[in-house]
Amino acid sequence: MTKWAMIVDLDKCVACQGCSIACRHENNTPAISPEEAAMGRAIRWNDVFPNPVNGTEEAGAYPHVRTRYLPRPCMHCENPPCVKVCPVQGTFQDENGTVRQNYARCIGCRFCTVACPYGARYFNWHDPYWSPEMARCLNPDRVVGRDDLEGPAVRLRGVVEKCTFCIQRLYAAQDRAAAEGRDFRPDEYVPACVQTCTAKARYFGDLDDPDSTVAMLSQNPRAFRLLEDVGTRPKVIYLREG
């Protein structure tokens, strides 16, 4: 079975946020009003954070300051706490281990948002808004069949949304392979953030294939996972700086 995983090399990442905006335009997350953004309600499935996030003391005192930046997509945990707490099976792990969200079943209780130790889930407080001009650049792709739309289909207020590893791009790649009458290869598909990464800091592939780049890099001595001790077993694996 394929097990999609991502490696983020923090030595290469320059915190440019290309991933954040590639994700936005691939997945139709709305740019919200400045007032809402100031309340921390901006929806960026793949956000980038300074580390430490708050406070200036932890980074050290001038001139011995160490500033770090951390891009954070959904970790697509092998043991996802969000799936466990969902009362309506609105979020689930698919056959490839990707954690997905079924917008029709979601009742907006936000248990998952609280359960996720990475803050990777976003609640729609309002219906998203695009001006008529801006609405023309929305990604028209839709994943359908499992009760309701997934992928970049626009979400309305009251549902939780999250990174899907750009599931629509997987389906598109599989459809392309089928149309060409050949087998789908795992290297035909990467999420938008991986494709756009300016410093080529991201790798994507099948963790179950021992010869894949991600499987090999996951054994690198620099490899670590976020909050490893909470037992979520993320499939997004970081490589330390240096």
Q: Which residues from 73-132 bind another protein, rule CB under 8 A? A: 87-89, 92, 94, 102, 105, 131-132
Cβ proximity to another protein, 97 vs 229, nearer residue: 97
Amino acid, res. 185:
R
**By CB under 8 A, which span of 63-71, 114-122, 207-215, 228-236 interacts with another protein?**
63-71
Contact 89, 122 (CB under 8 A): no
Q: Which residues pair with 100 in a beta bridge?
A: 92
169: helix, strand or coil = helix
Dihedral of alpha carbons 33, 38, 43, 47, sign: positive
How many residues are present in the chain? 242
Tell me the chain's radius of gyration from C-alpha atoms. 18
Cis amide linkage into residue 52, ω under 30° from 0: yes
- By beta-carbon proximity to another protein, the closer residue of 127 and 147 is 147
Provide the token pair at 10. 């923090």
Least distance to another protein, CB of residue 30, Å: 9
Contacts of another protein in 40-59 (CB under 8 A): 42, 44, 48-50, 53-54, 56-57, 59
Among 2, 73, 80, 150, binds another protein (CB under 8 A): 150
Q: Which of 85, 115, 172, 177 binds another protein (CB under 8 A)?
A: 172
Residue from 107, 156, 199, 227 binding another protein (CB under 8 A):
199
Residue 133 is a binding residue for another protein (CB under 8 A)? yes
Alpha-carbon span 58 to 45, nearest angstrom: 26
* Of the residues 67, 108, 227, 231, which one makes contact with another protein according to CB under 8 A: 67
Contact between 219 and another protein by CB under 8 A: the answer reads no
Distance CA 33, CA 47 (A): 17
Q: Nearer to another protein by C-beta: 43 or 116?
A: 43
